[in-house]
Copies of this chain bind each other. A is one copy, B any other.
């Protein structure tokens, strides 16, 4: 027994005014006299009336909705980012439409839904936009901001941390501390962050006259990272340092080294991660890592999106935020 919902007409009838008057009571700039407002609000209260956002969106041609596309919600870094972003938009009166995509990032179906949904902005977390859709967003002047993923298309804004220089720092630092057999544990092939971290790392090694000792992929997943570690340490001589593309995998490396291979960190093997998630600071790991400025990334991304939605015209921006090395105890010190 689905009862017909209460509309502004019902309220108008009960209050003895026109539907327009009711409408004006619920919009900020509506001109209405204090006493009619009172009567109307009373009637609304009595009937349990609430303005229908959908109808409002239609006539206003504005949904006040932002679509968020995210993969890897199981990665605490992105869960946190989503939480922050959500707060930013909620506080500005926007609603969030959430879309999850699988790790391999097939955004096609989802993008189509987003465009139909009349979202006024799109935030992409660790998910990539295909060029045709990026183009379509530009055509419809729907601002897009990508966090931690880049795409070779100037029409969308991108906020990333400086993955290349982060990787470069790791390479230099490890070399500087006297390591000679550095291994890299990558995430997913589809991830541009991983690619940049790797590139920087390799370039740094080359600059020191070194080469990468071994390379594996852990797909950003704990269990896969454990397996990859076993492969990296399948034969001697072992690597004397492992750079993992994120903290989550770095922890997997440490756990595997200790529990299965009887190796100590950092005495036998040094480990460096990326992200500075909370786990990195736990006493058991004291993981040296690179901090991504989560807070700032979200702020910048949200502000960008909000600004572009307000202005209605697109002026895409590419921002790269510095990462900062957090020195803890997972790297063997020279001498």
Query: Given A48-B139, A255-B282, A283-B259: A82 and B90 within 8 A (CB)?
Result: no
CB–CB B63/A54 < 8 A: yes
Interface segment among A73-81, A172-180, A231-239, A318-326: the answer is: A73-81
What does the 1/0 interface line of A67-100 toward B look like (CB < 8 Å)? 0100001101001101100110010000111111
A6 — nearest CB in chain B belongs to which residue?
B140
CB–CB A95/B97 < 8 A: yes
CB–CB A278/B222 < 8 A: yes
Q: Is A118 an interface residue (CB 8 A)?
A: yes
A93 — nearest CB in chain B belongs to which residue?
B113
Q: Which of B52, B54, B96, B115 contacts A50 (CB 8 A)?
A: B115
CB–CB B52/A1 < 8 A: no
Query: Given A54-B57, A83-B74, A284-B284: A97 and B96 within 8 A (CB)?
Result: yes
Tell me, in angstroms, the Cα distance from A314 to B119 when the chains sit together: 31
- Which range holds the interface residue count of chain A? 35 or more
Q: Is A30 an interface residue (CB 8 A)?
A: no
A1 — nearest CB in chain B belongs to which residue?
B313
Q: Is A16 an interface residue (CB 8 A)?
A: no
> What residues on B are CB-neighbors of A73 within 8 Å?
79-80, 82-83, 86
Q: Is A33 an interface residue (CB 8 A)?
A: no
Centre residue among A53, A54, A100 by max chain B CB count within 10 A: A54
**For residues 103 through 117 of chain A, which have their beta carbon under 8 Å from a beta carbon of chain B?**
112-113, 115-117
A4 — nearest CB in chain B belongs to which residue?
B61
A77 → chain B closest CB, angstroms: 11
Tell me, in angstroms, the Cα distance from A220 to B3 when the chains sit together: 41
Tell me, in angstroms, the Cα distance from A320 to B119 when the chains sit together: 38
A83 — nearest CB in chain B belongs to which residue?
B73
Query: Given A3-B141, A76-B76, A86-B98: A255 and B278 within 8 A (CB)?
Result: no
CB–CB A113/B141 < 8 A: no
Q: Is A328 an interface residue (CB 8 A)?
A: no
> What residues on B are CB-neighbors of A98 within 8 Å?
68, 86, 96-98
Tell me, in angstroms, the Cα distance from A57 to B86 when the chains sit together: 24
Tell me, in angstroms, the Cα distance from A5 to B57 when the chains sit together: 14
Q: Is A2 an interface residue (CB 8 A)?
A: yes
> What residues on B are CB-neighbors of A140 within 8 Å?
3, 5
A230 → chain B closest CB, angstroms: 13
A62 → chain B closest CB, angstroms: 10
CB–CB B113/A95 < 8 A: yes
Query: 21 pairs across A/B with beta carbons < 8 Å?
Result: A2-B313, A5-B140, A52-B118, A54-B54, A54-B57, A54-B118, A55-B58, A73-B82, A74-B79, A76-B76, A79-B79, A83-B100, A86-B98, A87-B100, A95-B97, A95-B113, A96-B97, A97-B98, A251-B282, A255-B283, A260-B283
The interface of chain A, by Cβ under 8 A from chain B, is 1-3, 5, 48, 50-55, 57-58, 63, 68, 73-74, 76, 79-80, 82-83, 86-87, 90, 95-100, 112-113, 115-118, 136, 139-141, 222, 251, 255, 258-260, 278, 282-284, 312-313
